[in-house]
Homo-oligomer: A and B are copies of this chain.
Amino acid sequence: MENSIQDINQPVAPISSLTGQSIKVFAPATVANVVCGFDVLGFAVNEPGDEVIMRVTGKPGITISKITGDDGRLPLDPAKNTVSVSVQHYLKSVGRTNIGLDIELHKKMPIGSGLGSSSASTVAGLFAIKTLLGDNADPAKLLPFAMKGEEMACGHGHADNVAPALLGGFVLIRSYDPLEVVRLPHPAGLYCTIVFPDVDVPTREAREIIRNKILMKDAVTQWGNIAGLVSGLFMQDIDLMGRSMKDILVEPVRSMLIPDFYRMREMAMELGAVSFGISGSGPSVFAFTKNEDTAKRITQKLQQHLTSLKIGSNTYVSTINDQGPKVL
């Protein structure tokens, strides 16, 4: 699977010259599945995202000196943290395991939110080391390493969060074997509103409740819709995107884990959303809108509703992130 992408053989700077250098990198949150593209579609947003500060030390090996914003939930042990583990995989592939690195991870989004929290951290770490080493390869080459991090974080090396976090924009994972990703365009003026209801939906469990077998006729409905969504992205047709964003296979099951999902959808659609659905495995939900005002009204209304249910929430309004990770 990794042959076509993992062939990183770019010139890299000598380690001795790097000692003491440091870099701060942001990587974006991502919405996987995009309603009808279960496991094969995702996109990145400009807000929220995670930050990694990486410093080249004189002593070989990776340390994690600080993690903030995680309420103590993430491991400082570099053998157990997805950021250090994926960076280690990358270093092996470029023959630089003798480098010394210290990592600070600053979580700027909730963990377990369905917003690609681990992917954002992993991608920030990989982009940091790639930049430090002067590796000019296409960021897509980092994908297999990021997927190793995903495998550790949620037991399944999927790419629908890491690929858009790494490449920005909308990304299709056309195939996992061999791995092939396709960058998709999107309409200008597309806004995304995200609401994270603060309830616990572990990714692993959210995957397990999905049926193994489905009806062929439902699959046909679903691939008509994903083809419609991809067409809408290319045609800059937000309404076609909206009509296509229906999921009769995964959403009916996963929505049970999200407080008042269908009521929230109703509210969002009434306020002018073009579509509404679960972000990744939830519990975050998202809506596309054609302007910022509508997006803001929706987050406000949904947050009020959740508050009335005594559920805390984080909300975000963002355009699509087209850049992927960036040096701050």
Complex partner residue of A230 from B221, B231, B243, CB under 8 angstroms:
B231
Residue of B nearest to A172 (CB): B227
Q: Which residues of B contact A309 (CB under 8 A)?
A: none
Interface residues of A in 168-205 (CB under 8 A from B): 172-176, 180, 182, 184
Query: Once the chains are docked, how many angstroms separate the CA of A175 from the CA of B228?
Result: 9
Q: Which residues of B contact A294 (CB under 8 A)?
A: none
| Segment with Cβ contacts to B, from A9-17, A209-217, A266-274 | A209-217
Q: Which residues of B contact A173 (CB under 8 A)?
A: 224
Q: Does A41 reach chain B (CB closer than 8 Å)?
A: yes
* Given the contacts A174-B244, A215-B212, A182 and B228 also touching, CB distance less than 8 Å: yes
Q: Which residues of B contact A278 (CB under 8 A)?
A: none
Interface residues as binary, A207-249 with B (CB distance below 8 Å gives 1, 0 otherwise): 0001111111101111111111011001000001001100001
Q: Does A283 reach chain B (CB closer than 8 Å)?
A: no
Q: Which residues of B contact A213 (CB under 8 A)?
A: 213-216
Q: Does A37 reach chain B (CB closer than 8 Å)?
A: yes
* Given the contacts A231-B184, A234-B231, A240-B182, A174 and B225 also touching, CB distance less than 8 Å: yes
Query: Once the chains are docked, how many angstroms separate the CA of A29 from the CA of B230?
Result: 26
Complex partner residue of A37 from B176, B184, B227, CB under 8 angstroms:
B227
Residue of B nearest to A234 (CB): B234
Complex partner residue of A228 from B172, B210, B216, B225, CB under 8 angstroms:
B172
Q: Give chain B nearest CB distance to A209 CB in angstroms.
A: 12
Complex partner residue of A220 from B38, B228, B243, CB under 8 angstroms:
B38
Q: Which residues of B contact A244 (CB under 8 A)?
A: 174
Q: Does A40 reach chain B (CB closer than 8 Å)?
A: yes
Interface residues as binary, A10-39 with B (CB distance below 8 Å gives 1, 0 otherwise): 000000000000000000000000000111
Q: Give chain B nearest CB distance to A228 CB in angstroms.
A: 4
Q: Which residues of B contact A40 (CB under 8 A)?
A: 220, 223-224, 227
Query: Once the chains are docked, how many angstroms separate the CA of A219 from the CA of B221?
Result: 11
Residue of B nearest to A217 (CB): B212
Can you list 8 contacts pairing A with B, beta carbon distance less than 8 Å?
Answer: A40-B224, A41-B227, A172-B227, A212-B217, A214-B214, A222-B223, A223-B223, A231-B234
